[in-house]
Chain A
């Protein structure tokens, strides 16, 4: 899977979870950039990403992801 494909999948998840197809994510995107992305929604995002790519994040990864780019990197390593 290429990084572009990972981002394509991530876009679909973000659109679903935040019900907003205008959301455009980049490597640097963080929770500060998306209005509804608070700590409680973070768990939904994580669960939806896990399901989409059929992977499991570990605790350290969930805690330390700084932005969408790092999330994509972890996904690339797993799939």
Chain B
């Protein structure tokens, strides 16, 4: 991971040095996920593609590209396109702008004819999206419209139906309506990005008339960064949580030195207000499934007293792990990741102290520790970084913090049992293991993209693919939900197999690490065997493909009683014969299937 490509980046440096940066990224060729990305442009997209490649590589995605000819987005999408079909895109990005509007209202147009014009523009795009979805069944990212660079009616351009601003705003609403009704369709909000960059600079006409770029070339890194963020989110590479410092990060001052009554927080003074606003911003993340943790050099009691400050937005319950001690921060950080069963790089470190950021990001490669600047900049830097770019929100996301806290309580309970089996029984676990069902398709797709550690083959699926497999009789699909006395863990495991030559070949077997060591994997196998027997299948064939992250399941099939039949370069293949009597392996989860 290159720090130069993290927000806030130097756009000029990236533009001028893109060849060198690319070379450096590719020096470390291992561990990239390969993705085929089609860019269908309404203007020049050459550099958007090249810069996007850098940001994607930095996120661990190695893209190959299809790029439409100049302004051929409509033709490529709506008419048969052999080259694009042969390319088989994993994701399609439609890079259009207000330069692609065919006709704006004239002052003499009445409301009805303007409504028809909106309908026509809308239909043109709906045709593009419907056609792409039908032909390729892959996620589509679509730019909305940035605002025009001049206003014929001045301020009235926004409110009058003849105004271009009014027209584009209404059209954008039509785009959002489509986005709301279609999963796997995402808006790239260039209306916001251009405003954030500065609309006047963004839409400098020089670049359109000279090179047919619909935006200032200097702004390309900001656009490419945003698109790359959507793509990495779709492919499950979002961060999962914060690890936060306390003193001078969540409040001003040092609680251990100044005393809880003297820390700077709350409405009494401007600086306290800024910290309060930042606390609210951090806390809002719980609603999108981001888990919160504390990593502070403090006596534990002092840390807790600060969190309980009368003007604090937080209570200690808002955090899953609170490490307040005198260990080094990198050690606390990796302890937190271990206890959450997460990889360190899936957590973002927020600390005002550059030295602490340095030690954490140096000791734990891949961990982002954004340079958050002064307190009034914290929100801006973290927000623009796109760590948690939301592409799908499941109900599980909203409860994630609670789930991890339940896990912490389970760990406490476990400590009180000397016999692990008794502990498992005391959890009163119920499993629901069934064929894929419509309500869970989004979560299943999300899980196939997010699971890295307990993942035997590391195959990724989009939601349309998941839906296709569920409808295909040749496939056996299982999802597993796990509920216990502390709460509902939601969908935590997915198995996909297909029947061929009288055997079941397991394409995918994944499980969320938050239910490790609960015998859920055995419960899944029991049901898989049951389904196979119902179909008269005689044996089950499993595969393990090693990656940098899935070493924990190297011997999974051996543990489950499979026999290894081959091994090449670490890839192993396993067989379980189920012709005889099969005895269920799980005895601690009550399963409904």
Contacts and interface: CB of A to CB of B under 8 A. Distances in A.
A79 interface: no
Given A43-B213, A59-B206, A59-B210, A51 B16 contact: yes
Interface stretch (A14-22, A25-33, A64-72): A14-22
B41 to A, nearest CB: 13
A44 B20 contact: no
Nearest to A57: B206
A19 B15 contact: no
B23 A44 contact: no
Interface string A25-62: 00000000000000010011001100100000001001
B15 A47 contact: yes
A13 interface: yes
A13 B15 CA distance: 11
Interface size class, chain B: 10 to 19
B19 A43 contact: no
Contact of A19 (B19, B207, B213, B217): B19
B15 A44 contact: yes
A51 B217 CA distance: 12
B23 A47 contact: no
Nearest to A49: B16
Contacts, number: 42
B116 interface: no
Contact of A48 (B12, B20, B209): B12
A63 B17 CA distance: 24
A48 B15 contact: yes
A15 to B, nearest CB: 9
A31 B206 CA distance: 21
Interface in B9-39: 12, 15-20, 23
A48 B15 CA distance: 8
Interface of B is mostly: helix
A16 B16 contact: yes
B211 interface: yes
Contact of A44 (B47, B206, B209, B210): B47
A43 B218 contact: no
Contacts of A59: 206, 209-210
Given A16-B17, A18-B19, A51 B12 contact: yes
Given A47-B218, A59-B210, A40 B16 contact: no
Given A19-B23, A59-B206, A43 B16 contact: no
Contacts of A63: 210
B20 A40 contact: no
A23 to B, nearest CB: 12
B409 interface: no
Nearest to A13: B16
Interface string B185-212: 0000000000000000000001101110
Contacts of A17: 16, 19
A47 to B, nearest CB: 5
A16 B1 CA distance: 21
A17 B44 CA distance: 19
A14 to B, nearest CB: 10
Contacts of B218: 47, 51
Residue in A47, A51, A59, A63 with the greatest tally of chain B CB atoms within 10 Å: A47
A47 B220 CA distance: 12
Contacts of B19: 17-19
A51 B19 CA distance: 18
Contact of B20 (A19, A43, A47, A51): A19
Given A19-B23, A59-B206, A44 B211 contact: no
A17 B12 CA distance: 11
A47 B210 CA distance: 12
A43 B209 contact: no
- 6 smallest CB-CB distances across A and B, nearest first, come from A19-B19, A48-B16, A40-B46, A16-B16, A51-B12, A19-B20
Interface of A: 13, 16-19, 40, 43-44, 47-48, 51, 59, 62-63
5 contacts: A19-B20, A43-B210, A43-B213, A47-B15, A47-B217
Given A44-B47, A47-B12, 19 more contacts: A16-B17, A17-B19, A18-B19, A19-B17, A19-B19, A19-B20, A40-B44, A43-B47, A44-B16, A44-B217, A47-B217, A48-B12, A48-B15, A51-B12, A59-B206, A59-B209, A59-B210, A62-B210, A63-B210
Interface of B: 12, 15-20, 23, 44, 46-47, 206-207, 209-211, 213, 217-218
